[in-house]
Structure formats: C-alpha cells, structure tokens
C-alpha cells in the first residue's frame, strides 16, 4: 500500500529548519497543507482548509501534525471523516487550554477535544516542551486512544530542536505504518 503523508504545520508554519520541512522535501508522497493565516489562526478556517486537502486525497494517508495542528486534527475528526485518513502522527501537542503555556491567539482552538480518535495514532512528546506539561500530553494520548512515545528532552520538537530529518521521528512513523498494516 502506498501511504501518503499530509503534513500539518502549527502556528507560524514550520520554517526551513523544521523537521516537517525536511520530511516534505524527502518524502515524495507528502503533501503540505498551507493555511491562509499562519500567525492569527482561526479554527474554522483551518478546518475548512484541511477539509479541502483531505477531499483531494486518493491514497491512504497519515496526518503528520505538529503543535497547534494536533488540536486541528482532533477538531477536524470530531465532525469530519474520510476513508483515506488511516492514521495520525501527533507531535508535540500544544495545550490550547492553557494560557500559561500557549499564546492567547490560539485560544479559539480550545477546548482541546478529548475523545478516542477513529484511526490509529501516536502522540510524540518531549519532557521539556514549553507549550504543554508532559503529564497533560500523556492524558491527551490516553483520551485519544493514541500510543505514547517519550523522546526525552527535545524542547518543542521544532526548528529550535535542530532535528533536521528527525530520524527518530521517521522510526516512530514507521511503527505507526506497521500498526496500520
């Protein structure tokens, strides 16, 4: 089965040094969702754009979401579905409910949905991520029915983490693919 990746960047987009950008360049089977407004996200607009991209899919696809885009996946899957979405890699979920950890500009993504996802998923978390407490990410994984992977102290698993092709993440993605198959 030829599995596609639908890459979903979070707030501010994923810059040129972000692993999502490296993955998009490396994996010819990847599509990157481009939002109209990366800096002042509106949940309904982001969901609408995700719906547009998902409607175009013709192959089995794994959502590869980072940070704010993790809550996007949860909000999308709550009221939408597509037979081609077969899994999700949910990396460094930002706690949209916490003014202590995330900027007010993303509060319209609150509350974080807490229900079992209709497809297999893995939550990848860092112990020193400033955008969510580690324990909160464990709770998210439990509520979403996701496997949970602790990658140690890697910050927000973003450009600042300097992961380039993030080989460890590729291995985690392969575990998800194996689980689905």
| Mean confidence (pLDDT) of the chain | 96
Instruction: Answer yes or no: pTM beyond 0.85.
Output: yes
* % helix, strand, coil for the chain, step of 5: 35, 15, 45
Judge whether residue 1 has pLDDT over 70: no
Q: Could you tell me the CATH number of the domain that includes residue 29?
A: 3.40.50.1820
* Structure confidence by residue, pLDDT tens digits, 9-57: 999 999 999 999 999 999 999 999 999 999 999 999 999 999 999 999 9
Q: What range defines the domain where residue 124 resides? A: 4-180
The total domain count for the chain is 1
Q: What is the pLDDT of residue 38?
A: 97
Q: How far is CA 68 from the centre of its chain?
A: 7
Each residue of 104-126: pLDDT tens digit? 999 999 999 999 999 999 999 99
Residue position matching structure tokens 């996802």 = 117
Residues 101, 99: Cα–Cα separation, whole Å: 5
The per-residue pLDDT for range 50-80, each reduced to its tens digit, is 999 999 999 999 999 999 999 999 999 999 9
User: Tokens at residue 52, please?
Assistant: 């547009």
Strands 61-66 and 85-91: parallel
């Amino acid at each position: 089965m030829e599995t596609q990746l639908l890459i979903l960047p979070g707030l501010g987009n994923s810059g040129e040094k972000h692993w999502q950008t490296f993955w998009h360049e490396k994996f010819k089977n990847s599509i990157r969702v481009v939002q109209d407004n990366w800096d002042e996200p509106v949940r309904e607009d982001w969901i609408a754009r995700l719906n547009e991209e998902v409607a175009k899919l013709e192959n089995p696809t794994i959502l590869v979401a980072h940070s704010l885009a993790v809550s996007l996946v949860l909000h999308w899957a709550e009221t939408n579905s597509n037979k081609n979405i077969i899994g999700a890699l949910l990396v460094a979920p930002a706690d949209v409910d916490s003014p202590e950890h995330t900027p007010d500009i993303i509060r319209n993504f609150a509350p974080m949905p807490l229900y079992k996802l209709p497809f297999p998923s893995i939550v990848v978390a860092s112990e020193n991520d400033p955008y969510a407490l580690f324990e909160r990410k464990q709770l998210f994984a439990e509520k979403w029915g996701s496997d949970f992977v602790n990658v140690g102290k890697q910050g927000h698993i973003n450009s600042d983490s300097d992961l380039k092709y993030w080989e460890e993440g590729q291995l985690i993605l392969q575990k998800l693919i194996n689980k689905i198959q």
